[in-house]
């Protein structure tokens, strides 16, 4: 099936992108008294663990190989 091949390629692309692109994360800290809000907003850029990226890439490769094999056997 071609869908496995495309899903594998998509997972590989996500795995490679997760190695490079940081994920923004922000937090609001403060107190609220009546209608007044006093606080600080902090933001962080966090990256996904390299283990997660490796699992995504390996899963993408496995799906792409499975998709290529099933597509070839049906033709």
pLDDT of res. 12: 93
Tell me the per-residue pLDDT of 31-71, one tens digit each, with 9 for 90 and over. Answer: 888 888 889 989 999 988 999 999 999 999 999 998 888 76
DSSP 22: P
pLDDT of residue 73: 56
Provide the 10 A C-beta neighbour count for residue 11.
20
Nearest-angstrom CA–CA distance, 41 and 18: 25
Statement: the pTM of the whole predicted model exceeds 0.85:
no
In the numeric block, which tokens belong to residue 59? 């899963």
């Amino acid at each position: 099936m071609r869908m496995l091949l495309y899903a594998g390629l998509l997972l590989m692309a996500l795995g490679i992108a997760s190695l490079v692109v940081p994920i923004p994360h922000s937090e609001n800290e403060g107190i609220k008294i009546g209608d007044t809000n006093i606080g600080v907003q902090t933001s962080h850029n966090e990256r996904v663990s390299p283990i997660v990226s490796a699992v995504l890439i390996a899963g993408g490769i496995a799906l792409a190989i499975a998709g290529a094999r099933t597509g070839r056997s049906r033709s």
